Amino acid sequence: MSDHIDTLKKLHTRLIDSRDGYRESRKQVSDEAAFVGFFDQRIAEREKFHTELHRQLGVDGVDVSEEGSAAASAHRGWLKLRDAVTGDNEAVYDEIINGESALVENYDDAIKATAGHPGYEFLTEQRAAVQRAIDEAKAEKARHVAA
């Protein structure tokens, strides 16, 4: 299998992990209005990004799993436990920023790997949206800390 396909499969899995992570987090923050809106936006965005990438991989004849990674499942379990114990909103923003930053790195790899391969131009736009989510989380964290 070519390197660009492996890289795209990794991004595909990471998008599933991201969406599922936000879904799990959303269940835990039903009383935090700031998080609810942010998480709902990310869930919808990740679902859209996943669908676009999944569709293009299908056009290219690539079969991909609809399961996230085992590591992400374990990580979500740890976050759930930690958040239940600490209730620290600043830590939640830190986790969002860390997770989104890792996703940006996956996008950077995928954009580089697909240079010259038609059909993947949407990756640049998706990456920019993830960067905006990081910027929004950083701004919310700063606002929360200042309050």
What count of Cα atoms within 13 Å lies in the side-chain half-sphere of residue 37?
A: 5
138: pLDDT confidence band, cut at 50, 70 and 90? very high
Specify the pTM. Answer: 0.86
Helix/strand/coil for 9 = helix
Find, among 2, 126, 1, 8, the residue nearest to 56 by Cα: 8
Find, among 71, 28, 22, 70, the residue nearest to 50 by Cα: 22
- Tell me the domains of the chain and their CATH numbers: 3-146 (1.20.1260.10)
Q: What does the buried/exposed string (b/e) look like for 86-99 if buried means 16 or more CB atoms within 10 Å of the residue's CB? A: eeebeebbebbbeb
Each residue's pLDDT tens digit, 83-111: 544 566 777 788 888 889 999 999 999 99
